[in-house]
Amino acid sequence: MLTDLKTVLKDKKRAVAAFNVYNAETVLAAYQVAVQEERPVVFAFGESYMGLMPIGMIAKMVSYLADMTPIPMALHLDHARSVESIQKAVNTGFTSVMFDGSGLSFDENIRQTKAVVDLVSPCGVSVEGELGYLNPEDGSMGQTKATDPEQARQFAAETGIDALAIAIGNAHGLYRGVPRLDFSALEKINENVSLPLVLHGASGIPDDQLKRAISLGIQKINFNTEIALGAVLAMRKQIEKEGDSLRYEKVIENTIQNIQEIMRQIVEKIS
């Protein structure tokens, strides 16, 4: 069942995995894991992936699969900075969008995020906003900007968003060393904001920290790096093993199986 993010995040006691998808293999793997584990899932298609595959193709694939199950599933445009991209997503059937205004000033982030909410909420589309800055890809913490709990209260109240992505020591990409989430800040943010909280950059965060974060209000957790790297590793091993006799369709089959197993382990550890 394809639905909005609010419905997918209805159970406040459990977190939902948001898996980045960019082709048929990743979409199929995420769908199969959701059905097998009987857990909701978020298909997250990044604005940056729009050059890899037409956004309408992703929407058609996810919609086709979601129609075959009563399990709630959301199709989410991830890290969108362009209103044009957001409008395309809504027009093709996405049920949720993330406007990433984290690089803007606080007041401008509120203004632009609210404008996105006003644009898409009449269409039944959920909006995730972001407050605080995550270093883009290298996992270092030098450029992160933590989410201020008092600003989080104001941001949620004035924008009308449905979920809030926060920065509490998490970062995108591979971490340098063991990440340490700021649970004191998370607890204060959770007290100030009644919305579902979102944790990006979860690949590499220890399981015990993820579980504690869930207990303190994190309801959506984004995963990409370990899935993307795991798929490449699986393909490399298969190519080394079978060499020139390896056919492409066998690579696809093996890739789906490996991605699915990584996703299954993720769903089990956060459920």
Condensed to tens digits (0 to 9), the pLDDT of residues 50-92 reads: 999 999 999 999 999 999 999 999 999 999 999 999 999 999 9
pLDDT in tens, 46-61: 999 999 999 999 999 9
The rounded distance, in Å, linking the Cα atoms of 21 and 30 is 8
Tokens of 145: 């900007």
Q: What is the pLDDT of residue 136?
A: 52
Share of the chain above pLDDT 70, in %: 96
Model pLDDT for residues 229-251, shown as the tens digit of each residue: 999 999 999 999 888 889 999 99
pLDDT single digits (tens) 152-199? 999 999 999 999 999 999 988 878 778 899 999 999 999 999 999 999
pLDDT at 113: 98
Positive/negative CA dihedral, 129, 135, 139, 142: negative
- Give the phi and the psi of residue 79 in degrees, each rounded to 5: 50, 50
Which pLDDT band holds residue 138 (cuts at 50, 70, 90)? very low
Give the count of domains, the chain: 1
Query: Reduced to 3 states, what is the DSSP secondary structure of residue 190?
Result: helix
Q: Which of 4, 67, 78, 182 is the catalytic position?
A: 78
Q: Per-residue confidence at 140, pLDDT binned at 50, 70, 90?
A: very low
pTM beyond 0.75: the answer is yes
Q: What is the CATH number of the domain that holds 123?
A: 3.20.20.70
Burial degree of 248 (CB within 10 A; 0-12, 13-18, 19+): exposed
Annotation marks residue 78 as catalytic: yes
Cα gap 23→52, rounded to integer Å? 8
Q: Distance between terminal CA atoms of the chain?
A: 20
Q: What is the pLDDT of residue 175?
A: 80
CA dihedral 66, 72, 75, 77 (to 10 degrees): -170
Kindly state the tokens that stand for 122: 């009449």
Query: If you write DSSP's letter for every residue of 88-135 in order, what string do you get?
Result: HHHHHT-SEEEE--TTS-HHHHHHHHHHHHHHHGGGT-EEEEEESB--
The phi and psi torsions of 204 (rounded to 5 degrees) equal 105, -10
* pLDDT at position 144 over 80: no
Domain of 34 in residue numbering reads as 5-270
Between 140 and 231, the more confident residue is 231
